[in-house]
Chains A and B, each alone.
Chain A
């Protein structure tokens, strides 16, 4: 509470105020009816409003009237929804709508008490004003905050597990296509790494490292309380109100068999009672390449080609261009500006306990290369309604259509980087040259990439997804404090993948089908599922004892099915993929399909207990029954316990005024990982030969009679079980200097056993595929530091605040089966991280003065120099052997990573800078693994990435001399691809201005903010980029090259690699947030 005499208002402008912090939050929480557990995020906003409206509005009629209108924005000037506005000393109040506006009958000379989750509470004496504008100070680590903890919400101060929240404002600071991008660097313990650079490409999310070798390490996603299967691309980030991340087992045990990888709970916006408002959020941006690949220029290319083994001379055109000094920069020929636009309109309002929110969005992003784009249309509607005093019902429907173009075919980065700079895209008449390759081998199969600039019915590469995600709930308060609630989630996804490659002819060369006829492919896939949850919650406070019980019974079922057809020889290109029957009967179509179904039954119970707001305890138990496990092994039980001590509330802390609050937390629990695919325990016999589509079916012919064949692909395993992870978590939450500094420190250690592991059996076992089994043990431990500070909060109105998170995770494989310490085939090394890089150590290049020593290894100067590490007797033996000279060189885990956001505001202006950094670890650059990318192979017939290679006159220690054999060891080329992965990246700079006062009135708007953003600004630090000129962030998982280095684990748990993909885009964006 404010002390008498303390100035409560800092005047910013005629009608805009800034407030100092108060601890009003506590008071608000006391006054508010406690949020029942088992209710999604929305209740923390709806409840007070509904409550207040229902009880208070009739009284207001008799009060002395003074209507005050106000507009509440955050530090970046964006309107804040759901802010509680209460007249001090009364129970009268309201809350702001979607656009940050409120209106209240305040009586004479009132003091307004303003509070909202994530912001420091404020008091404001209104005086004679009737129209005010308030800027809230972001304080999202305030212990008074409410967080979603799964099957309910909890006050942050009561939370005993490890939970981190990312609020709406933070999600908006980087304009991105999907949530993964928005979350990168925003929360400690949450690692987001890119795995592609095409529009709509996803990213890999890991919470506190990885626990599974061959199963999924993806966290469980929960959308509005319902477990969400599938792509985050289907969610419009603008619809998201907040993201809460559950990290430790005591928090995730309520999700039992799916909790081990952490849980991300996404809550979407809901309606709010009050005047109906329309708002618009949108932006438009132009993108340019954030870097270009460094390739040899003409002179450098010739120097390389002339000493390479390539004996064929220059083509006539090359000779002519050399004479003229005419060079083509193929990157300049092909890159175009990209465009990105996002437009969202929403309408929301409500009254008498009923509220609604409707929204529509349109997002489109094009790419640096022609033919690639991503479009998403979204529609949502939410209705919450109160029926009498004891019943609440609501529905939420989220619908999106996403269209991704250019994600299925191989777009032409390879030719762009490898075409001779002395060939030209256009001939003297200005027509496109058909095959401007220097190398005859490529001529048949590699046309001019510039053909992509005009589709001309030459190709269709489109993935269209329709997703509708609906949740309905009903809640009945049986007696005071005891509630029954049912949640029903209904989820349907339909995806159509369309591919068409037009036939090649002289008049209309077909980039994707050189010298070939046309081909088309259509895949239709559907997925549907439902979740039904029955929840019983009971809240009771007896004296200093607070008790909350949550009980759950739920069932979830999920089903997928797809059918695909590939057909060649379509009669005419015009029909594309639409009517595959309009085609020659031969060759026969290739037809495919598949089906999976699974179900999960669960019982869960949780007890939260608090004594005197000082001692807190949570007990959780869950039982999961899963269809995926073999009979007799289907049910498992997951216990967790955690406790907290709010030291700050102890009387002995009263003397430490610098400490606003302090809490210790400890938790322990067991969870598992639902990473067994349906039917995996059954073994598998099928007719897939492992070759790429459309040649992927085992076929044979006896004369003209074609038959199919079946073979054993995987072995049955009736003992297949989950992976179990036990986690201990210790945490401290603190708030200092009247909450100007808030933060937390976490330490955790988790041990996973019965690890699911696809053993690469020796092929002599007779089974070609890997064998999925439970062996091994893995450990992760790490620490996380989160701190938010209000650095400057000056009377002049200048504010500067910082959010910083830093974390690290140490992964270690503790054991494999049968006492094996290394399994090279699966890249598993006991005692080392799962991302270990096991290879020869590259010591540079054999120099001329080392010729004698090189010869003892069968090498010549100019070849790769590998380390003679050891031998059978444990010492270097003068020979390079696969058994003794390969070892774990390092791993691709970051030693420390994190994100920092700085926010500045002054009057109407706001500025935020978002940074992301990783330190330590090795990255795998397949661009530099010559036989993978062919861009550093320097065989002379193609151009490539500019590396410093050895010549007799250039004693480089980086790349070997261009030659046929770069080492007598056949896999030595893989060692050229390991680099320091560290970087510091400025993700975005966002500068905005919020209109106020007269200008706002002129615009007849409630609020208007305009902003300018630049993203992917660059790297302040990156050894890899400095050396190679290429961005140090991943573009793929696992091997993406022509030759497999053999030490990159296949599948989704492989090392993240960098291949020659389209450069990331740097966008220059202008945007507006308008509320009418």
Chain B
């Protein structure tokens, strides 16, 4: 018995040993199931997945707080509101952006800087690899055209903030980089800027020739009209820059009128009512050429985190412009706070940015004939909780356009709500006592899950109306300003429209909106852009590339006036970029003055 067991055990031991001793070098070969390599982008599905990423990456540039901050804060339109002003919640980046004390460590400037190159490189991969991918040519060309449109846009968003940026990421200009490159190819600045503009114009030109004529009705895949808009915008930007070329403004005029004159071909029209352009639920209207898409209320698919500010791809703009409606007392300062409960529509009063006095008093001096102020700003809040004589849904308080109107409300004993005069509004009235100001309502989203969520509606990037403004500006700059008049008047007359106005009243208002050639100059164009495009993440570059930033901030933005000077026309290169660059002479890469 014992010896049998012994034999058995010996046999098992020897057999196991033999089994394990088998030469098994093939065990050392990796067979990953979960890892794609860059080779993936050489397949048809890889190309499409790459393009999806390129679209998705734009969510960083349109909506998140950093992106809003660098395009709106410290302009003639907006300055920083209560939270940055009191330093609450890590908002120092928005004070320093707005009062022009920002340094290279500012967090907001990282939003485009840290996000865009990765997508530019991916676009390079798609453009470089596509010729070798076996698939049908039409689909392939469409993908390449989208990739080039998006690459051009990624570059534009960088150039307008930082000036010259690298086309060579480590493997050569506009080539997919797979090298662990530690250099930073932005020198010499002037030459690189010339190449940047050329690359963007080439991309948008290719896109305007190879994208579909029209976008799908219910989606925002890039189409020709959007490419023409970006092309026009880029030509105009170059026309004002040190890289300007003869014919830039003429080319911009040609690109923009191409769409204006062929609206049916490109499937675009102006909305009759300005209010419909930005109306929730009408996000896919034919005036919007291109939006960065999201699905209202769908946090995961929007890549946004519930209740977060910054750090995800949601639309923080939905809360950033929201004043502290929850603390406003009605009927008087001793009253209750009828809107103390936040609602999804009104959002979280995160109080990052508020309108400047200039915006309220000058740009929108005419709030009657021009419907765009009312259609852009919330002036009335309804009660969100019962108590103090208010039922939910009663008017809680209103912001009055004039002191007279406010007085007329506040002196009527039957009116229980309160009207706040312009002189009492935060910043606008020169006061910080009342934490209330007109709230930009373009991004309000009633389908959020909770009030603190970021918004989830498509974010307009290119609107047909802007093509009229670009065409008018190009005409003016190209020396035929008379051509600008009808273009501007189309936009201005449309702005007179309000539902319910009688025909004669509307006609009178339209007439009042009309302008003449004598009125046209760059400042007028910029004023008109504010009225049409206020708060749409365009303003800072609009001013900076046209070399009007310093002048207009000094005139119209009390917070920024003291410190701004010419070097602020571009942002500092972020410190983290310089820290990671393998070159001892890092300062040579920094923009002058920082």
Contacts and interface: CB of A to CB of B under 8 A. Distances in A.
Nearest to A590: B300
Contacts of A532: 16, 20
A698 B118 CA distance: 13
B37 A683 contact: yes
Interface in A365-406: 387-388, 391, 393
Contact of B301 (A474, A587, A678): A587
Given A532-B20, A555-B24, A682-B35, A444 B53 contact: no
Residue of A516, A699, A702 contacting most chain B CB atoms (<10 Å): A699
B103 A515 contact: no
Interface stretch (B71-79, B175-183, B404-412, B415-423): B175-183
Nearest to B84: A964
B88 A310 contact: yes
B361 interface: no
Contacts of B137: none
Contacts of B120: 766
A14 interface: no
Nearest to A821: B584
A593 B34 CA distance: 9
A963 B103 CA distance: 19
Interface string B160-195: 000001100110000011111111111000000000
B299 A695 contact: yes
A970 B239 CA distance: 35
Contacts of B10: 391, 476
Given A391-B9, A709-B53, A716-B37, A765 B170 contact: yes
A823 interface: yes
A965 B49 contact: no
A707 interface: yes
Given A685-B37, A699-B302, A711-B118, A388 B3 contact: yes
Given A388-B3, A593-B34, A970-B106, A627 B28 contact: yes
B122 A711 contact: yes
Interface residues of B, number: 125
Nearest to A392: B9
B86 A764 contact: no
Interface stretch (B91-99, B226-234, B483-491, B540-548): B91-99
A444 B307 contact: yes
Interface string B551-594: 00000000000000000000000011101111000110000000
Given A553-B21, A764-B577, A716 B38 contact: yes
Contact of A515 (B13, B95, B218, B451): B451
A6 interface: no
Nearest to A310: B86
B580 A700 contact: no
B9 A387 contact: yes
Given A685-B41, A763-B118, A699 B181 contact: no
Interface stretch (A595-603, A748-756, A1020-1028): A595-603
A54 to B, nearest CB: 14
A708 interface: yes
B52 to A, nearest CB: 3
Interface string A271-287: 00000000000000000
Contacts of A631: 29
Given A765-B180, A823-B580, A939-B87, A970 B96 contact: yes
A587 B349 CA distance: 26
A934 B90 CA distance: 9
A312 B327 contact: yes
A764 B28 contact: no
A691 B311 contact: yes
Contacts, number: 340
Interface string B19-63: 011001101111111111110110000101111111111010000
Contacts of A599: 27-28
Contact of A474 (B12, B56, B295): B12
A939 B83 CA distance: 10
A686 B32 CA distance: 13
Contacts of A517: 449
B115 to A, nearest CB: 8
Interface string A754-785: 00000111111111100101000000000000
A1046 B86 CA distance: 23
A1074 interface: no
A389 to B, nearest CB: 10
B372 interface: no
Interface string A825-844: 11000000000000000000
Residue of B17, B32, B37, B579 contacting most chain A CB atoms (<10 Å): B579
B235 interface: no
B522 interface: no
A703 B89 contact: no
A178 B459 CA distance: 52
Contact of B293 (A590, A702, A712, A934): A702
Interface in A465-509: 474, 476, 484, 486, 488
A108 interface: no
Residue of A678, A765, A939, A971 contacting most chain B CB atoms (<10 Å): A765
A325 B303 CA distance: 47
A685 B125 CA distance: 12
Contacts of A309: 85-88
Contacts of A516: 306, 449-450
B105 A701 contact: no
Interface string A878-903: 00001100000000000000000000
Contacts of B579: 823-825
B103 A969 contact: yes
A626 B25 CA distance: 9
Contacts of A1043: 90
B326 interface: yes
A715 interface: yes
A825 B576 contact: yes
Interface string A611-653: 0000000000000011110010010000000000000000000
B113 A595 contact: no
A588 interface: yes
B244 interface: no
Nearest to B32: A679
Nearest to A971: B105
Nearest to B178: A715
A876 to B, nearest CB: 18
B216 interface: yes
B101 interface: yes
Given A391-B6, A964-B95, A685 B304 contact: no
A488 B313 CA distance: 50
Residue of A388, A588, A700 contacting most chain B CB atoms (<10 Å): A700
Interface in B249-269: none
Contact of A703 (B6, B118, B178, B216): B216
A440 interface: yes
Nearest to B587: A883
Contacts of B342: 444
Residue of A711, A883, A939, A965 contacting most chain B CB atoms (<10 Å): A711
Contact of A601 (B24, B311, B580): B24
Residue of A594, A701, A771 contacting most chain B CB atoms (<10 Å): A701
Contacts of A708: 49, 52
A682 B96 contact: no
Given A391-B6, A765-B169, A765-B177, 12 more contacts: A310-B86, A440-B327, A515-B450, A532-B16, A599-B27, A684-B35, A700-B53, A702-B220, A711-B118, A762-B181, A762-B580, A765-B182
6 contacts: A601-B28, A685-B35, A689-B313, A710-B41, A823-B579, A964-B92
Interface of B: 2-3, 5-6, 9-10, 12-13, 16-17, 20-21, 24-25, 27-38, 40-41, 46, 48-57, 59, 84-90, 92-93, 95-96, 101, 103-106, 113-114, 117-122, 124-125, 165-166, 169-170, 176-186, 216, 218-221, 284, 293-295, 298-307, 311-313, 324, 326-327, 340, 342, 348-350, 432, 449-452, 575-577, 579-582, 586-587
